[in-house]
Chain A
Amino acid sequence: MRNAFADEITQLAARDPRVVLLSGDIGNRLFNPFKESFGDRFINCGIAEQNMVSVAAGLAMGGMRPVVYTIAPFVTARCLEQIRIDLGYHRQPVVVVGVGAGLSYANLGATHETLDDLAMLRAIPGLTIVCPGDAMEVRGLLRASLAHDGPVYLRLGKKGEPVVHESVPDIAIIRALDVRRGDDVCLLSVGNVLPIVVQATDLLVERGISPRVVSLHTVKPLDEAILRDVFAQHVVVATVEEHSVVGGAGGAVAEWLIDQPTPASARLLRIGCDDRYLCEAGGQSHARERYGLTPASIAQRVEAAYRHARPLTMTEWVAS
């Protein structure tokens, strides 16, 4: 994802002289092509994220289109106030890019994990929150974010994730993407878990269940049209995210659901990281196992909910 970001932002800077990239002392070689072409529009802001976000706001007030880039916990929790006041309150068109979100840097421990950013940022009025599912979505959604008239948080994984889309999809902020059609259950995939969600649905197909996969890349504002559709069409709807179950995308969907005028018959399942720190060594795949974010574990939970929620067929009823 981050290589796609670096390449795409370089292309966008060529097209728009207002684009300026601010980095929190990371991505050194990654941004060499950007710096070679647009050195006067690259600012290494050092390890000082609060200042970096406010400087970006000032640049935007001066007519530029800043993109702020550093590791996700440091560009969210560390400078939350600068985001809520200088970007949110002032409605400045700045794209805040958190790289290595979720469990991407689990090997570095909880200091570098980002399981609470959505919970914090969802409460900021007017902040658009975008979580691309793969490198192709990164490209399309970065373009859309820079064209958006207001602050955007763009939540990225790291590098080398499997690519789900063959090319850059026709994508827009809010409008969720159907990735796989199915009838029985629907998995709302949020951000960098998209590849494992697709793998989980392969397992569900093997178990005779027809799964639909939607990339719910925009957590705020939610795509209410697709939510109405999935809760009307499917028996089980599961959100999947590399984020705490507290206040994340699952929380956002649950809040939306409870506010609907008529109760949904579909069961909502929130799949994410349970509410605890992981205090042990191990990288992303290990941490995903510990939090139950593997294709097998996701498939198992969805299948169990489906078997429980769906009325039995006559044959099954007789057999039971």
Chain B
Amino acid sequence: MNASHAQHDLQDIARRIRRRVVRMSHDGRAPHLGSSLSCIDILVAAYWGALRIDPARPDDPDRDRFILSKGHAAAAWYATLAQRGCFPDALLDTYNQPGGALPEQPSPNCAPGIEAATGSLGHGLSLGLGMALAARMRRQPSRVFVLLSDGECNEGSVWEAAMLALAQRVGRLCAVVDYNKWQATGRSNEVMALDPLADKWRAFGWSVCEVDGHDVDVLVDAMKAVGEHGEQPSVIVAHTVKGKGVSFMEDDNNWHYRVPDDAELAASLTELTPT
């Protein structure tokens, strides 16, 4: 079921998704563009390199699950699912439009592939843990991937889930932290002393893999290894750049809330032109 693609192809797909996401933010007047751009390579690695899914069968009980726990990056999730063939690209035009199918943050079952409604932080890892436990009880092969933001790791419930996942020895659960070093109003290592983040996960007993969160190949390898650590849950600490792909947005936290105007949209699309 995995789509097989060369590295160049995956980079091209990521670029296309970034173009779509910038346009969605502009057209839908929706913020959190920086947060969306930072996790797109992770989404591409998951959906093209790791997840055992069939876009034509979104309800297959044996499918792998993916939860975007950082629901504010929904535009990136929607655009990825459309690009992967889960639903038509035209649906993306309804993003954040009054009465449209795709809210600024995902609602339950708003589109095929949306495994959970998110937006309030600190829910996704627990939901994913429940899904992984259900798969084990029902003897299904599913693995569960949950994408968290670094700011999200402020929430105590994340660490509640981390402890229970180890206690229950749920080896088919993988957390990916989009570690872009920013949260809404400041550096994530200053607001809540997040650093050393990888060591925190190690101390919680998880199998930790620290990677460049924009290197799709490395991400694919790390995700493919999920479930191969026996009963130990995995976390991929993905070092990323907020606003990745658009030079004037990169590592500028103003793009947590800013929406691109016409000129900024044009400049972004120029930078993201396929090579």
Which chain B residues lie closer than 8 Å to A48 at the CB level? Answer: 157, 160, 163-164
Interface bits B147-174 vs A (CB < 8 Å: 1, else 0): 0000000001100110110011000000
The segment from A51-59, A181-189, A284-292 that touches chain B is A51-59
B247 at the interface (CB under 8 A from A): no
Interface of A is mostly: helix
The answer to whether A54 and B126 touch across the interface, beta carbons within 8 angstroms, is: yes
B120 within 8 A of A: yes
Residues of B within 8 Å of A40, CB to CB, are 137
Q: A41-B137, A46-B167, A48-B164 are in contact. Are A82 and B130 (CB under 8 A)?
A: no
Task: Point out the residue from A20, A51, A53, A89 that lies within 8 Å of B137, measured CB to CB.
Answer: A20
Contact A56 B130 (CB under 8 A): yes
A85 touches B123 (CB 8 A): yes
Contact residues in A for B157 (Cβ distance below 8 Å): 48, 50-51, 54, 82
Is B167's CB under 8 angstroms from A50's CB? no
Interface residues on B, range: 20 to 34
Among B130, B137, B163, max chain A CB count under 10 A is at: B130
A63 at the interface (CB under 8 A from B): yes
Decide: B133 and A63 in contact? CB cutoff 8 A. Answer: no
* Contact with B134, one of A53, A63, A82, A89 (Cβ below 8 angstroms): A63
- Contact call A58/B117, Cβ cutoff below 8 A: no
A62 touches B131 (CB 8 A): yes
Interface membership of A45, Cβ < 8 A: yes
Q: Mark A29-50, 1 if CB is under 8 A from B, else 0.
A: 0000000000011010110101
A59 and B134 contacting across the interface, CB-CB below 8 Å: yes
Q: Which residues of B contact A55 (CB under 8 A)?
A: 126-127, 129-130, 133, 161, 164
Evaluate contact between B134 and A50: CB separation under 8 angstroms: no
Known contacts A46-B167, A50-B157, A55-B129, A89 near B135 by CB under 8 Å: no
**A224 cross-chain contacts in B, Cβ below 8 A:** none
Among residues of B, the one whose C-beta sits closest to the C-beta of A49 is B160
The residue in chain B whose Cβ has the minimal distance to the Cβ of A45 is B164
Contact between chains at A61 and B115 (CB < 8 Å): yes
Does A212 reach chain B (CB closer than 8 Å)? Answer: no
A43-B168, A59-B130 known; A82+B160 contact, CB < 8 A:
no
Chain A residues contacting B116 (CB-CB under 8 Å) are 61, 90
Q: Tell me if A64 is interfacial: C-beta within 8 Å of chain B.
A: yes
Residue ranges of B at the interface with A (Cβ–Cβ < 8 Å): 61, 107-108, 115-117, 120, 122-123, 126-135, 137-138, 142, 156-157, 160-161, 163-164, 167-168
Besides A62-B142, A85-B123, 16 other CB < 8 A contacts?
A20-B133, A50-B156, A50-B157, A51-B157, A54-B161, A55-B127, A55-B133, A57-B126, A58-B127, A59-B133, A62-B131, A62-B134, A85-B120, A86-B123, A86-B126, A90-B117
